[in-house]
Structure 1
Amino acid sequence: MDRIFKRHMPDSAVSCWSAPQLACLATAYLLVLVSACTEAPAGGADQSAATVDGNGGVGVDGIGSTDTVTGGGDGQTAVDNGTPTGDGSAADGLNPADTPVAKPDGDSPDNGGGGSDTPVSPTDAVVDTKTDSGSSGGDSATGGDASVTNEDFKELLVKVLGPSGREWVQSMGGVTQLSGIAYGSPDEISWSNSNGKSDVIKIAKHWKSSPITLDKGDNHLTVTAKKGTQVVSDTVHITYNPVFAFEGAPDMTPNVLFVNETAKIVVHFSAAAAVKDTEGKSIIDAATISLVEVDELGKPIAGGYTNSLKDSGQGGQCDDVQKDAVYSECVSLTPKDAKTKYFRVKAQVDVGEKYEAWSPVAVVDVVQRFDKTICKGIVDLQSKVKTDYAGAVTAGADWKQAQAGAILALKANETVADAGPASAGGYGVWIRYKTGQLGALSLAPAGMRSSPSAAGPGAALPTYSVGTRRALSLAPFQAEFSKYGGDEAEKHGADLKGKQCPPYAVDASSGSQAYLRWYREMAAYGMIAISGHAEVLFGGLDAEVYNSLGWEHKGAQEVVWSGEPVNCNALSSSTAACNQAGAGCPTGESCVKTTLSGGVCVDSTQADIMRGRVVIGDQTYGFAPAFLRHHLVQSFPQSIIYLGACRTMYNGSLAAQLWGNGAASVVGFSEYVSSEYAYDQGSKFLDGLAAGKSVIQALPTNSGDPKYGGRLRHIGLDEANLNNQALINPSWDSGNLIGWKPVGDGRVISRLGVTIPVAGKYMGIISTGLGFTAQNGSLTQPFCFEKAASELCFFWKFYSEEFIEWCGSQFMDTFTASLKSEAMTTTMVNVYIDSLCPYDCGGKSSCEPGSPSCKCGKDWKTLSQADLIFDQGGVWMTPWQKTCIDVSNFASSGKKMDLTFFATDKGDSIYDTVILLDEVTIK
């Protein structure tokens, strides 16, 4: 056996990039590098309804999901030098409206949530082309014939991507259309609805259905692909609420419960449409907003949990802020059985027609605790089998015979339900235990990338640019890979961190610090680079086993290994507490605030193991595609994801989850590759991105690995890039914090009492510890000015419980706004309680207005009593105030800037202060 180090499945850790699907109509494609093109995706068809996914984003009629699409386009497909074909039904451009509510006359008001306002470029469906010069294809070819490859993924897979890649989707109209991907050359594709209707779908890698008429309420649509005796399917649940859609599913934290243990769940549900207008009317009847326990099909459970949600500002009801259009409740549960619990919200709506509308579904896991003795038994067994395997190979046995012997030894163990080899002659072995856990081993010779040592602690196309300049670099095997050329993910993180414009805020982790939590949180990043090990496992299981595991793809799974060591002693036997600042949780657990003074530590890893989302190696934990499907609740912000490990693009099971969840592009390896080859190809690709190239321009054109045949493979948008240097989401009108890094209490709201945004639908908010949050709050974003920029402006509004009673005292909550470069810092706003109080400090001292000796009033405009209260009582507020500064000196420097808004307590943390932020503009 050649001792080339391969990026294959290790026992210790794996890294891989996860890339969200870009909400872009009709530009989906698969690119196998070395040949430049693939066939075009099917175009979308006209729809009479906009469709909203479970997060509030509105889907499109073609592949992918975006904000809102209301019309069709030309749907042309360019093949070989731009020859157009197509049925004329695809959308030519996307008109993002971000609207969960449609007026009865067909117009869509601008009051939605959850989706992004970033428009998607109006491109037609095109075959991906790449000429010798490296330019990318567009509506017509860029010159020369593009070679088209018919190479496909290795096995049958089908995935619904449109109207959304999520499991639960909302539709405001009665007709929809499904679209998605089908790999493995199926003989037949069809769809069926729970109402008994069905139809065939024209076979294509990028398919679309005929228009589908929906019933009012829930429609359970299944797409099935067949090839001989193989059958795979994917189901999407579409809820048809006529001319109305909620902003998303209820947010429920913690979402992990343990059998026979009482737990408190904090529920939040955004419902801006419940706010009354000037005539006292609202679309949602706020008094009817209720949380309901349902089954997996969304039907209410007899005797299940149900309760009203309130926007009261009362901590006892888990509501952080009064009159912010977020409805809340504290739910106390003591589950008796290990199972998945489902919840959704119902409410009465009036859109010309009055009816009961239902939200998408939220999921809560209930699991048995993983017994430490069982865990240690699994680790010991896998270690022994691996040792015996190594001994047999050393004694001269063929590795395939030794692998077969290892599988027989595992099957003979009384704790093992089943075991088998990695797919298509791979080196790994998978194990399914009778107690429900999954395990895996790499049994390759030492020195190959499938058998690393344990990870140690040392060990200007903004239209297509990623939606945030937060970047993540995960290199769990950096120490190992440094012996074989280097680690491309680590290098890329360092390269981005050193860039001036566009500037990237990089989070990097290597060795055993590459915890599973980083992979759970990938959707917060626009650029994700993961190096490591991976393998294709668990093929050939019985259908009932796949169903019991809840895996979407009923076939072999692409499994990626993290750097987090398997530590049976770290498994929690009870729920730990964390403090108000969120500290105090054991390694690998996260703090969820459930009271004003603290919260509970959530052991997501234990739940992931018990649900089959995380795999136990003999060194580290790996994760299956179901892990991504479960944890990536937030959509990727048009991210680019590099999966620098073997077989991460073997059958598309990983990429489908990432793309379906908002990634713009996913790049990985089709088969086994040596570490040297992976570093060379991965570095060229990542270096190209850092240098300003698009994905298609950055992809190397070399042939596959000469020893093992693997090659880079790409799925997604070829124009995706890292080039946007301007402020992203400057006024928070995406409805989320994409682009901004929050610390403490930083969030986005649609209103606070009677105060609405200066412009748009949303505004930012920071506080000194409102509700369950930490004491200080800030929002920061690095960016670069255009050379011609001359002025930066923004609006702010200051609320506090310290007005007016504590004017002139030592209690001095403060708000600052600053602009900082390496060479200079400008404080744009620096106000505090006394500076905003009246000149007489609320009657405490007499002072001539404007006198420099006045203790109070330096920044006073006026104060009025707010129409809401915080936890300590009365609140006063300033009017909206606009601040502008000259930024020409900053702009001429050509250097990166950090824009920071910061609120802090001075004196004590009893009385809360809130600052609203909106309409950040540069001219």
Structure 2
Amino acid sequence: MPRLPAACTQLLGVRQPILGRWAACAAAAVVGLSAASCTEGDGAATATDATGGGGTSGGDTVAVDGATTGGSDVGAGGDSVTTVDTTAAEATGDAGGATDAGETPDQTSGATDGSTTNPDTAGDTTVKPDGGGSGDAVIAPDGTTSGGDNFKELLVKVLGPSGKDWIQSMGGNSQLSGVAYGAPEEISWSASNGKSGKITPTEKWKTSVIQLDKGDNHFTITAKKGNQVVTDTVHLTYNPVFAFEGAPDMSPNVLFVNENAKVVVHFSATAAIANGQDKPIIDASTIQLVEVDEQGKPIAGGYTANLKDSGQGGNCDDVSKDAVYSECANINAKEAKTKYFRVKAKVDVGEVYEAWSPVTVVDVVQRFDKPTCNAIVSLQGKVKGDYVTAVTGGADWKKAQADAIAALKADSSVADAGPANGNGYGVWIRYKTGQLGALNLAPADMRSSAGAVGPGAALPTFSVGTRRALALAPFQSEFSKLGGDEAEKLGNDLKAKQCPPYAVDAANNSQAFLRWYREMSSYGMVAISGHGEVLFGDMGADVYKSLGWEHQGAQEVVWSGEPVNCSALSGSTATCNQAGNGCPTGESCVKTSLQGGVCVDSTQADIMRGRAIIGDQTYGFVPAFLRHHHVQQFPQSIVYLGACRTMYNGSLATQLWGSGAAAVVGFSDYVASEYAAAQGGKFLDGLANGLSVNQALPTSTDDPKYGGRMRHIGIDEANLKNEALINPSWDSGNLTGWKPVGDGRVVSRLGVTIPVAGKYMGIISTGLGFTAQNGSLTQPFCIDKAQNEMCFFWKFYSEEFIEWCGSQFMDSFTATLKSDTASVKMVDVYIDSLCPYDCGEKSPCEPGSPTCKCGKDWKTLSPSDVNFDQGGVHMTPWQKTCVDVGALGLSGSGKKVDLTFFATDKGDSIFDTVILIDEVTIK
């Protein structure tokens, strides 16, 4: 084909990493359907997916993103099956319900104030077996409970089979499990089909086995204590013997009223591609995006679009036959609201029916105009100034707080205001224009009163799922004078470690933007020092519902370092360039074409939806912020919340736990900065030195000044010790453990080519989707002294073959191992080295002759069944490369090694190259 100028090439659709895997294959085998549908091959390597995300029976459930035991999802992909415990309940006469026997989710520990009863099982032998705690309640890993109530307010949260709002089930029976804090007197469940039941009111609860209706089942868990009533709702979709790989991905997911927006839609559906002679389970022609309401029901006249796996940029699809179905949705919303979307498709699992995916949320908001913002900032500044003047002049703080609330309520812009919960110092404000504000009024030495902002795959040992760490110290300049900043110190300590090697992102003071908190689920260790408060506990039920908050009570609030800056609020949507640069501070680039994309102002959406709080100096966030932004599961992370009252009622911690965090540590009430720095510093030092959460918890005593103490929930054995290669062959279904640059992602297949082993493989390219010229995947790790050989498989596709052999267009692929003292290129190939010896009949020569321009690494080339945007793709067979790492002096060196797979485009970016990588092993 002729080489076309870049201006003539089609635009390709950006795609997020494929986050799921067809789970119906194994289910089909269980019920006696064709087992051949589980086998895929391309002639070079075959694999049989005998597990396909987990076998199922009539009593199994499948989490949207894959559930571990205990209900927390692991990684945003690879649906897994949670088996129902059919011995949990004792029947009652409650309209089909039952009374629960009180079992607990497996392998999790409940709320603990600085202590546990079980010795750690992660392999350490030189520490105290009880973790050093002396707290007032204990939940051991086996779920046993002792001690009294820990939390000061009622809260209930569903954690199993998933902590997500929308869950899938392939079986007709299910169980729900979770936690209830605040010593509830009653817990019950009710379903949309009229059935209900009672649950034994324990801190860790589980329902009886519940029979599902086909389609959507909506469940409400209700906890009561006196006149307190709290609920949590979960939606469970029963698609018999089938589960989608997840919800549709829609980017950007923030839209503004009366503004045109191009939204890129991708949906992974491996089961829509036939395997050999078998008929695919999903009828690809029926895959359709549908706008629905909050309950998942189609909206009359709502948006719909057919999704296609065409490889055409016109419908935002980057590659044909990769089982990702796409569309460019053009949306102009006329009112501020939350929009809901899901995918429907016809499936054939012996029974033909219409199946529905989980739901994706898109925000539509009014822009937050600068005059309104300035008025709010001015009001809050004046009221706080009056409070400080009064207290400094000797007034009682409670009277000064009451005067501040009265002044706020007297302002015409304020709908309501009130004090912090539990005799707390702070004040909250709800404005008539929809925004939420707060004043930090606690004493200056406390981790509640924000001071001035300074300048700007899980192992049996329960190690975190990625060695990426995030250290946020938004008030470092203040804390450095009050005992130090433990989050900053942990970041520095982890950066200095060779083994295990941590890649640390850190932000101090005003650089601790909200965007870092939105990205926490990309990290295995998150350490946050800062200020916190408990607010908004006195708002009406209708207000909580309008805000979409899951917990209808007081909200734990954490303050970021991002200053409230009204002048930074965007009045229109900015654009970013091909490299993803050009967005204003605080906004992020979403690529919508090869040439560039749009800048998304998530902060405005968070403010207008009540997820971000306008403070008197910086922005804060409530649990709904975590619920909205952490669609991607935490990779069994450890999260430290080093601020006041971050474990007051569990509203923050349960959101993190339900989103995949392995353990969450915080403080039960107000604490002095010196106390928090000392207690938090000991805990984080222990983690950095190889201890588990249980072992690292310091002996817990109440803060002698303010009474708070350290508290944790989650898995006691969680730790940071793993130094081996994480997720080496991407069989988690995502990029956990790896850092992508450019186009680096995970796929389950590319046309007829499937992984050499397992269910997934890595892919890098020089320009698929909206990437320009490079793609790479990198991970630092350490090589054990007993390990001597590293091997992996790779397969090279390119549009440069064969026509452009012998030309200046030299796309290349390298695989490199690099330490401080050694570096080796395990693979170093390029177009000409993989072309035939005669460069495609351009330069005749004797095969193997040193005069041959091409063919140095030639095996064979064959036409691919997959076309990119220009067509004419050829591919190599799968090739295996091994290297002796022992001979390179890398084994047992105690030094980190960086493994990098890298593809780049030399000459131009018109014709694309793709490299598949799989079965990375080291032994």
Unaligned stretches of 5+ residues in structure 1: 1-45, 77-85, 94-119, 122-126
Query: Per the alignment, do residues 212 and 71 of structure 1 end up closer, same or farther by CA in structure 2, a change over 3 Å counting?
Result: closer
Instruction: Tell me the distance in 1 between the aligned counterparts of 2:178 and 2:145.
Output: 24
Farther off after superposition, 441-450 or 332-341: 441-450
User: For the Cα contact (< 8 Å) 1:253–1:267, is it kept in 2?
Assistant: yes
1:634 to 619, 623, 632: 632
Report the CA distance between 1:750 and its aligned residue. Answer: 0.7
Match of 1:777 in 2: 775
Distance (Å, rounded) in 2 between the aligned partners of 1:649 and 1:87: 27
Which whole-Å deviations, capped at 9, do the CAs of 1:886-915 have from their partners, x for residues lacking one? 011211322111100011111111111111
Distance in 2, matches of 1:48 and 1:149, equals 38
Aligned to 2:702: 704
Does the 8 Å contact 1:53/1:170 carry over to 2? Answer: yes
| Segment of structure 1 superposing worse, 394-403 or 267-276 | 394-403
After TM superposition, give the deviation of residue 448 of structure 1 in Å: 4.0
SS at match of 1:342: strand
SS at 2:422 equivalent: helix
- 2:836 maps to a residue whose letter is P
Aligned position for 1:198: 196
Q: CA deviation at 1:134?
A: 2.7
- Find the counterpart in structure 1 of residue 784 from structure 2: 786
Residue 504 of structure 1 is matched in structure 2 by 502
Aligned to 1:842: 840
Q: For 1:331, what is the secondary structure of its paired residue?
A: strand
What is the distance in 1 between the residues matched to 2:59 and 2:314?
40
Match of 1:687 in 2: 685
Of the three residues 129, 139, 144, the one matched with 1:135 is 129
Match of 1:875 among 857, 873, 876: 873
Q: Kindly state the Cα deviation for residue 59 of structure 1 after the two structures are TM-superposed.
A: 5.7
Pairing of 1:510-521 with structure 2 (within 5 A):
510-521=508-519
Report the alpha carbon displacement of residue 130 of structure 1 after superposing the two structures with TM: 5.2
Cα offsets for 1:795-830 (capped at 9, x unmatched): 011111111111111111111100011111111011
Distance 1:141 1:813, change over 3 A: closer
Query: Following superposition of structure 1 onto structure 2, how do residues 724-739 of structure 1 map, counting pairs within 5 Å?
Result: 724-739=722-737
How far 1:50 moved relative to its partner? 2.6
Please give the per-residue CA displacement for 1:824-850, whole angstroms capped at 9, x wherever unaligned: 111101111111111111121122111
Tell me, yes or no, if the aligned pair for 2:792 and 2:920 is still in contact at 8 Å.
yes
Give me the whole-angstrom Cα distance separating, in 1, the residues matched to 2:450 and 2:772: 41
Q: Is the 8 A contact 1:75 1:92 kept in 2?
A: no
* Residue of structure 2 in register with 1:261 after alignment: 259
Which letter maps to 1:646?
C
Moved more, 850-859 or 360-369: 850-859
Take 2:501 and 2:386, find their aligned partners in 1: how far apart are those partners?
51
1:648 aligns with 2:642: no
Deviation at 1:64, TM superposition (A): 3.6
Q: Using the TM superposition, give the Cα deviation of residue 769 of structure 1 relative to its aligned residue in structure 2, in angstroms.
A: 1.7
Distance 1:198 1:148, change over 3 A: closer
Aligned structure 1 segments of 4 or more residues deviating by more than 6 angstroms: 73-76, 86-93
- 1:217-616 equivalences under 5 Å are 217-458=215-456, 462-616=460-614
Tell me by how many angstroms 1:734 deviates.
0.7
Question: Partners of 1:342 and 1:513 in 2: how far apart?
Answer: 33
Equivalent-residue separation in structure 2 for 1:508 and 1:386 (angstroms): 31
Partner amino acid, structure 2, of 1:827 = K
Cα pair distance change 1:352/1:136, threshold 3 Å: farther
Aligned AA (1:345):
V
Corresponding residue for 1:186?
184
Matched, 1:54 2:42: no
| Pairwise CA distance, 1:771 | 1.6
What is the alpha-carbon distance in structure 2 between the residues aligned to residue 493 and residue 757 of structure 1? 37
In the other structure, the counterpart of 2:46 is: none
Q: CA RMSD in A?
A: 2.2
2:134 aligned residue: none
Mark the runs of 5 or more structure 2 residues left unpaired by the alignment.
1-55, 75-79, 90-99, 110-114, 120-125, 132-137
One-letter code aligned to 1:726 = A
Identity of matched residues, %: 75
Aligned to 1:913: 913
Describe the SS at the equivalent of 1:497: helix
Native 8 Å contact 2:471 2:488 kept in 1: yes
Contact 2:817 2:898 in 1 (8 A): yes
Q: CA deviation at 1:368?
A: 0.4
Conservation of the 8 A alpha-carbon contact between 2:262 and 2:328: yes
- Paired position in structure 2 for 1:174: 172
- Tell me if the contact between 2:84 and 2:175 (Cα under 8 Å) persists in the aligned partners: no
Write out aligned runs for 1:6-17 (5 A). none
Cα displacement (A) at 1:506 = 0.8
Question: Are residue 68 (structure 1) and residue 78 (structure 2) matched?
Answer: no
Distance 1:203 1:898 in 2: 50
Question: How has the CA–CA distance of structure 1 residues 92 and 711 changed in structure 2, closer, same or farther, with 3 Å as cutoff?
Answer: closer
Cα deviation per residue 1:65-120 (whole Å; 9 max; x = unaligned)? 463233659999xxxxxxxxx97977879xxxxxxxxxxxxxxxxxxxxxxxxxx9
Deviations, residues 629-667 of structure 1 (Å, cap 9, x unaligned): 000000111100000000000000000100011110000
Provide, for residues 599-634 of structure 1, a one-character-per-residue CA deviation record: whole Å limited to 9, x for no partner: 111111000000000000121100000000000000
Q: Residue 31 of structure 2 aligns with which residue? A: none
Deviation of the 1:435 alpha carbon: 0.2
Deviates more, 1:172-181 or 1:388-397: 388-397
Question: Aligned pair in 2 of structure 1 residues 853, 356: CA closer, same or farther (>3 Å)?
Answer: same
Q: TM-score, normalised by structure 2?
A: 0.87
- Provide the rounded CA distance (Å) in 1 between the counterparts of 2:104 and 2:420: 40
Displacement of 1:49 after TM fit?
3.0
Kept after mapping to 1: 8 A contact 2:185/2:224: yes
Q: Which amino acid aligns with 1:921?
A: T
Letter in 1 for 2:918: D
Alpha-carbon distance in structure 2 between the residues aligned to 1:376 and 1:89: 52
Alpha-carbon separation, structure 2, partners of 1:250 and 1:714: 34
Tell me the amino acid that sits aligned with residue 833 of structure 2. Answer: S
**Cα shift readout 1:263-289 (whole Å, capped 9, x = no counterpart):** 011000000111102114111111111
Paired residues of 1:75 and 1:88 also in contact (CA < 8 A):
yes
Aligned partners of 1:713 and 1:92: how far apart in 2?
Answer: 20
Match of 1:668 in 2: 666
Contact 1:782/1:899 (<8 A) preserved: yes
Q: Are 2:104 and 2:206, in contact at CA under 8 Å, matched by a contact in 1?
A: no
Query: What is the CA–CA distance in structure 1 between the aligned matches of 2:658 and 2:130, rounded to whole Å?
Result: 23
Change (3 A) 1:203 1:151: closer
Q: Write the distance in 1 (CA, Å) between the matches of 2:752 and 2:266.
A: 20
1:747 aligns with 2:745: yes
Read off the aligned partner of 1:900 and give its amino acid letter.
T
Deviations 1:32-82 (A, max 9, x none): xxxxxxxxxxxxxx9843322333x1464x554463233659999xxxxxx
Per mean C-alpha deviation after superposition, the further-off stretch among 847-856 and 174-183 is: 847-856
> How far apart in 2 are the matches of 1:847 and 1:74?
75
Q: Which AA in structure 1 matches 2:898?
A: D
CA distance in 2 between counterparts of 1:818 and 1:601 reads 34
CA distance in 2, matches of 1:769, 1:511: 37
CA distance 1:754–1:133, change in 2 (3 Å)? closer
Q: What SS does structure 2 have at the residue aligned with 1:847?
A: coil
- Say which SS state the counterpart of residue 185 (structure 1) adopts: coil
Please state whether the residue corresponding to 1:868 is helix, strand or coil: coil
Amino acid corresponding to residue 892 of structure 1 in structure 2:
G
**1:612–1:408 Cα change, 3 Å:** same
The equivalent of 1:23 in structure 2 is: none
**2:904 maps to which residue?**
904
Deviation at 1:856, TM superposition (A): 1.1
Change (3 A) 1:921 1:71: farther
Letter in 2 for 1:54: V
* TM-superposed deviation, 1:317: 0.4
8 Å CA contact 2:446–2:671 kept in 1: the answer is no
Matched residue SS, 1:893 = coil
Q: Distance in 2 between matches of 1:626 and 1:504?
A: 29
**1:90/1:365 Cα in 2 relative to 1: closer, same or farther (>3 Å)?**
closer
Q: Alignment length, in residue pairs?
A: 830
After superposition, what is the alpha-carbon deviation per residue over 1:493-535, rounded to whole angstroms, capped at 9, x for unaligned? Answer: 1111111111111111111111111111111111110100010
Check the 8 A contact 1:485/1:676 in 2, yes or no: yes
